[in-house]
């Protein structure tokens, strides 16, 4: 173990934070960049609600955040609270695999899920965002897309992360391998420099075609909702879809026009647990959100606040509880339209009590067996489809997805985690559409017994997940972050920081974090590294030593090395407070 002595004194903004809380009374918008957040705030100040603002931010983010692995060819975990119905809602924003995609085909031809075009899924983000806008918004597609269109056509200054990420050898090599990608992201044959105005005229044209489809529908007398559907349809059923599919097939992909035209973003009943009086809601198991809920159930019987924030005892309990939840993730979490997920058992307090009995409070376990929620047994069928495969990936600024949150004075809230796995590292621009396609299909397994096995029209279980939190029936918090498999771990820490350790929202996202690796990584080849535990070196050296004594394989990393991008919003009913994660370009705006 390498340790780095650190010291930290409390500043004007608290023990951990170097920036103040953001306040608002009329509304708030948090996002991955200031341009993304500003797009949503403009909508709030024009009279739009939280859903309109979230749609505007999501569309703008798809233009300005491709190097954070989010484009309009990606997916989105989307949760919302509707003040009128007083209900939490989940909209499915993950695309599905091609109809021709089978395990036998991939095993016979490639023996793996290859990176790039053969791991794509239908883009889900546009469908989900427009479903939200149609159901709950007040504005038109043209109004909420105005910022995105302007940013694509007129361009935006290449900010540090954007320029740095395109310049990496891995991404340059991928971009140069596809002439359409190189044309867009390597203008004049080289990466944009910081401050260069970066334009995407072809992406602007795609958005303008959607805007025109809406205008045509309104001219024909259609209502707002039907006109928004027309904008959606040209993307999935019209000219844009046909050109995207043509490009995919030229690149060797398997998607057909029907894979796009038949795609939908249905609503689903969200899942939830109560943790110390807070009702935590998330999407079903096409995301990994259930793992946070199970971890909270396991931890609820421990008085972790008495152990001290980021003490060795508290961290150990959090890490081991996460391992228990992740073992169930690998056994049960997959597209619920294809597998029978035992939600009631997995989320029950009785099952958590049984699983908790396995938690070793003194010694780190390389892994835990899954349980059996159907039989209410702490230990279920043990499967080991993979072997430990250490993978010491670099935790860099460019790793992750993005996150956005909105809230308005009516009490509406949106929590969303848009992504495009692979982004510019594996993905490619589809012809002249400007759309960078995702590689989320690499999350599948070529094992028919695995809950996340590849099947035609199945949605892979994503790492992006989003949360809405209620107390006494009232929305009090949004929660979410980029970070791949680390998302559940960091969401747990931020939530514990607020609920158990009484930190304010900015302190909660700024506090030092840990990240464990004792579970199969979601992307192919699903490597894992038992008992590896990364600690930001702002965590006390003595804590690291005690965790090593508990047989964690401790790796001390940089002071802000667990790369996330939190922008959670907390509401007390009269005003909002928000925090922006200093580890990324995250921005919180209040009004």
**Which 8-state DSSP code applies to residue 587?**
E
* Secondary structure tally for the chain: helices H, strands E: 22, 19
Domain locations along the chain: 31-74+100-115+125-266+425-438
Let me know: does 415 contact 79? Beta carbons within 8 Å. Answer: yes
Q: What is the pLDDT of residue 518?
A: 94
CB 165 within 8 A of CB 44: no
Joined together, the tokens standing for residue 156 give 């935006």
Report which of 185, 239, 254, 243 is spatially closest to residue 209, judged by C-alpha positions. Answer: 239
Q: Rounded distance, CA 46 to CA 38, Å?
A: 12
Selection from 149, 50, 43, 54 nearest residue 93 by Cα: 54
Averages of pLDDT over each 10 residues, the chain, 591 residues: 39 80 97 97 98 98 89 97 98 98 98 96 98 98 98 97 91 93 95 97 98 97 97 98 98 98 97 98 98 98 98 98 97 97 98 98 95 96 61 45 96 97 90 96 96 98 97 97 95 98 97 96 92 97 98 97 93 94 95 96
Task: Name the DSSP class of 116.
Answer: S
The total number of residues shown for the chain amounts to: 591
Contact 505, 578 (CB under 8 A): yes
In the prediction, which pLDDT does 386 show?
55
Cα 100-106-112 angle, rounded to 5 deg: 145
Whole-angstrom distance, CA of residue 93 vs CA of residue 416: 10
Which tokens belong to 210? 């959607």
φ, ψ of residue 26 in degrees (nearest 5): -95, -30
Here the tokens at position 451 are 């809950």
The crossing angle, in degrees rounded to 10, of helices 50-64 and 146-153 is 10
Cα 199 to Cα 18, 66, 244, 450: the distances in Å are: 33, 13, 20, 43
Give the torsion sign (CA, 445, 447, 453, 454): positive
- Alpha-carbon distance of 261 to 571, in angstroms, equals 40
Measured between alpha carbons, how far is 28 from 505 in angstroms, rounded to an integer? Answer: 14
- Token pair in block for residue 328: 């169930």
Radius of gyration of the chain (CA): 22
Contact partners, residue 276, CB within 8 Å, separation at least 6: 300, 499, 500
DSSP string, 200-246: -HHHHHHHHHHHHHHHHHHHTT--HHHHHHHHHHHHHTSHHHHHHHH
Q: Which tokens sit at 317?
A: 């309990």
Give the residue among 144, 188, 148, 150 at the shortest CA–CA distance from 166.
188
Distance CA 302, CA 48 (A): 43
Residue with tokens 């009516």: 410
pLDDT computed for residue 13 by the predictor: 74
């Amino acid at each position: 173990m390498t340790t780095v002595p650190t010291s930290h004194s409390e500043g004007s903004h608290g023990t951990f934070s170097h920036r103040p809380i953001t306040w608002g009374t009329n509304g708030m918008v948090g996002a991955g960049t200031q341009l993304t957040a500003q797009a949503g705030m403009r909508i709030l100040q024009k009279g739009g609600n939280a859903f309109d603002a979230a749609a505007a931010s999501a569309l703008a983010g798809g233009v300005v955040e491709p190097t954070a692995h989010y484009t309009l060819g990606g997916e989105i975990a989307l949760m919302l609270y509707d003040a009128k119905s007083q209900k939490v809602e989940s909209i499915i924003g993950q695309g599905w695999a091609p109809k021709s995609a089978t395990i036998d085909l991939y095993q016979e031809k490639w023996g793996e899920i290859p990176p790039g075009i053969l791991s794509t899924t239908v883009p889900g983000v546009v469908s989900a965002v427009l479903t939200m806008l149609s159901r709950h918004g007040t504005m038109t597609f043209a109004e909420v897309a105005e910022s995105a269109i302007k940013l694509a056509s007129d361009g935006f200054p290449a900010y540090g992360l954007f320029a740095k990420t395109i310049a990496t050898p891995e991404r340059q090599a991928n971009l140069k391998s596809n002439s359409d990608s190189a044309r867009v992201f390597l203008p004049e044959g080289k990466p944009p420099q910081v401050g260069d105005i970066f334009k995407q005229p072809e992406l602007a044209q795609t958005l303008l075609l959607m805007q025109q489809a809406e205008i045509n529908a309104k001219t024909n007398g259609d209502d707002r909702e039907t006109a928004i559907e027309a904008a959606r349809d040209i993307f999935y059923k019209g000219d844009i879809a046909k050109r995207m599919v043509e490009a995919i097939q030229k690149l060797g992909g398997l998607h057909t026009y029907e894979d796009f035209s038949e795609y939908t973003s249905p609503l689903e009943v969200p899942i939830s647990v109560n943790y110390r009086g807070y009702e935590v809601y998330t999407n079903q198991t096409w995301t990994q959100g259930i793992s946070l809920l199970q971890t909270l159930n396991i931890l609820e019987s421990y008085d972790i606040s008495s152990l001290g924030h980021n003490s060795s005892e508290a961290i150990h309990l959090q890490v081991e509880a996460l391992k228990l939840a992740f073992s169930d993730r690998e056994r049960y979490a997959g597209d619920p339209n294809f597998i029978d997920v035992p939600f009631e058992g997995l989320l029950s307090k009785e099952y958590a009590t049984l699983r908790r009995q396995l938690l070793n409070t003194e010694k780190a376990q390389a892994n835990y067996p899954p349980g059996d929620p159907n039989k209410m047994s702490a230990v279920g069928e043990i499967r080991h489809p993979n072997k430990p495969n250490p993978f010491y990936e670099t935790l860099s600024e460019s790793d992750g997805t993005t996150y956005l949150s909105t809230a308005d004075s009516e009490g509406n809230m949106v929590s969303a985690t848009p992504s495009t796995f692979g982004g510019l590292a594996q993905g490619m621009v589809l012809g002249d559409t400007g759309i960078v396609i995702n590689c989320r299909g690499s999350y599948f397994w070529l094992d028919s017994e695995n809950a996340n096995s590849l099947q035609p029209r199945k949605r892979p279980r994503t790492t992006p997940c989003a949360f809405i939190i209620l107390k006494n029936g009232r929305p009090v918090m949004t929660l979410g972050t980029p970070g791949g498999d680390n998302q559940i771990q960091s969401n747990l820490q931020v939530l514990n920081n607020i609920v158990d350790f009484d930190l304010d929202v900015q302190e909660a996202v700024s506090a030092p974090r840990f990240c464990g690796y004792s579970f199969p990584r979601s992307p192919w080849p699903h490597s894992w590294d038992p008992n590896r535990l990364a600690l930001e070196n702002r965590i006390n050296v003595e804590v690291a030593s005690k965790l090593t004594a508990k047989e964690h394989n401790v790796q001390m990393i940089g002071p802000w090395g667990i790369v996330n991008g939190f922008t959670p919003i907390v509401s007390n009913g009269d005003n909002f407070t928000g925090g922006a994660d200093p580890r990324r370009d995250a921005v919180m705006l209040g009004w």
